[in-house]
Amino acid sequence: MTAMQRRTVLKSAAALAASAALPSCKPQAPSTSTAHITGGFIGQSWDRGHAMRDRLRQGLPLPAPSRTHRVQVLIAGGGIAALSAARALRHAGVGDVALLELEDTAGGNSRGGSIDGLRCPLGAHYLPVPGDDAPEVQNLLEELGVRERVAGRWQYRDEYLCFSPQERLFIHGEWVEGLLPTHEVPASTLAQYQRFAQLVASAMQAQRFTMPVARSWQKNQGLAPAHQALDAITFDAWLAQHQLDDAHLRWYLDYACLDDFGAGCRHVSAWAGLHYFASRHGFQAPGPADAATEEQHDAVLTWPQGNGWLAEQLAAPTAQAGWLHTGHTVLRIAEEPGGVTIDSYNSATHSIERWQAAHCIVALPTFIAARVVQNAPDFLHAAVQALDWAPWLVTNIHIREPLADRPGAELAWDNVLYDDVARGGLGYVNAGHQRLNALQPLPTVLTCYRALGGVAAADTPRAARQQLLDAPWESVRDQTLATLARAHADIYEKATRIDVMRYGHAMAIPKPGAQTVLSQIGHWRPTGARHSLSNAKYPTPSTARLHFAHSDWSGYSVFEEAFTRGWYAGLAAGL
């Protein structure tokens, strides 16, 4: 089914639903009862990580290891960077590997879940079609059958590309197509859209923005001077310099920054704010657009479980090889002259286990790595100081049948409520959007996202993190339902279950100065490092036996950054 055919079908379905819903008598007030809704907190084993953290902070000794394992390479962590590193080691022919993951499933913030048999995301829910700066990701997608060559040209299979309509916005009591506010906005707003589009284009011409970011670091031997200037100030300050103060434009840019960085324009650097657009396809201001450009701009890959599908494809061969060990909390990583010693807590046996390896890939967030790596290198502490981390709330709502809509655009994959973005709300995605049977009133799952790194200047991730930890499930349930009820009056009646995923440190926030620090680390090798910069195909922060791989080393968390860093760390450890 083509995008146009699908759009026509959905409009017909919406019309049928609207006619069926016409009342024959005075409408009843919608129910707000939650007595029938089950659910609770899922995933993210905060207790495991916090228990060991508190023990170490108190200086309490760890029990003696109950057993010792020996492997060639150990991977600490189980997110996308770790799974990518394992893939690289398989490709390099390394067969003696262990991967230790705190949670019961691997994938980090790209994991997927299910409710009543329906798959849904637990974190990241899409992957933009990767450009030529990310050949490693392109190769993965080719290996998985997502990307294929047809008549000499690379194409992505239709079932993995997000169906149309992709996005809609709830504003002034109705739904409108797209996320950039254009309906009934003044001419001054449209003028600022055009001005911002010109500035993004100029920034792209002055100095390339790449994804992954280390592509440009490699070419420029660090952060280019033009990017250093952008990295020195907040995005908010840069917008003020260019007299871009329109409320609709600022709303949209806060939304974009929350989407990729977990915090708004007042918290992220100008480099980060521009990178969101300039590393992809620029900023599309309203007006005549080339059809091919518009199609390319909208091209994203998605699955019912979001990027959980990618995580599952990466984890499967790692598990089949016997490399994957879940429920392990890494407590200590000690680099020694003859190898690396790693101690972990096995939550299944309630015991400490020791691992000895020739090399260790540290695929942990930098703030955790700095706690567990003994005599940690200075560049690790510098990275921790350069970053902050945004808490996130991911709420999956099972609904027994499609919700009734307020007037306007038909149900899309990504649905955003304008008034909620100021509180970090990013709307919801519909896990059933990729179905071809659009006319059938089937159950589905709506995945709601809330980024809590801060929109207002006074917001702090630390305070939001504590609130997230303290809030009961019922409070999250009630807030989520009340928000969605503004656009869907029947949400209380049709919701049957609500599962809540809390991420205390979901993603790194690229604060001003972060890119400058991280780009310097990416091009530095301490004495005794295994590979010199001259023969390193891709910069990987390393010591003699430790290879650091995580999206934190790029300054923000997206799939392309994590996967590429893991791939090259795996190659470095396997040489």
Looking at residue 318, what is its pLDDT? 97
> How far, in Å, CA of 330 to CA of 103, rounded?
11
Instruction: Identify the sign of the CA torsion 543, 547, 553, 554.
Output: positive
CATH number of 62-110+306-387+512-574: 3.50.50.60
3-state secondary structure 114-140: EECCEEEECCCCCEECCCCCCHHHHHH
Which amino acid does the sequence have at 312? E
Could you tell me which residues are beta bridge partners of residue 329? 345
The size of the chain, in residues, is 575
| Three-state secondary structure call for residue 500 | strand
Domain segments of the chain as ranges:
31-42+162-180+295-301+388-509, 62-110+306-387+512-574, 181-285
Looking at residue 194, what is its pLDDT? 97
Q: Which residues have a Cβ under 8 Å from the Cβ of 408 and sit 6 or more positions away?
A: 168, 170, 174, 175, 176
Give the Cα-Cα-Cα angle 439, 442, 445 (nearest 5 degrees).
120
Looking at residue 59, what is its pLDDT? 73
The ranges of the chain with pLDDT < 50 are 1-28, 290-296, 524-535
Strands 174-177 and 300-301, bridge-based pairing: unpaired
DSSP sequence for 158-207: GGGBPPSP-EEEEETTEEEESSS--TT--HHHHHHHHHHHHHHHHHHHHS
Residue 165's φ and ψ, nearest 5 degrees, are -80, 140
Strands 339-346 and 425-430, bridge-based pairing: unpaired
Looking at residue 523, what is its pLDDT? 52
Extract the runs of DSSP E, i.e. beta strands, from 265-383.
300-301, 324-326, 328-336, 339-346, 351-362
Looking at residue 536, what is its pLDDT? 52
> How far, in Å, CA of 299 to CA of 284, rounded?
14
Looking at residue 489, what is its pLDDT? 94
Summarize pLDDT for 295-353 with one digit per residue, the tens.
445 689 999 999 999 999 999 999 999 999 999 999 999 999 899 999 999 999 999 99
* Distance from the first to the final alpha carbon of the chain: 47
Looking at residue 522, what is its pLDDT? 63
Domain 181-285: CATH superfamily, name plus number: Guanine Nucleotide Dissociation Inhibitor, domain 1 (1.10.405.10)
Strands 97-101 and 328-336, bridge-based pairing: unpaired
Question: From the CB of residue 395, how many other CB atoms can be counted at a distance below 10 Å?
Answer: 24
Looking at residue 389, what is its pLDDT? 96
Looking at residue 532, what is its pLDDT? 37
CATH number of 31-42+162-180+295-301+388-509: 3.90.660
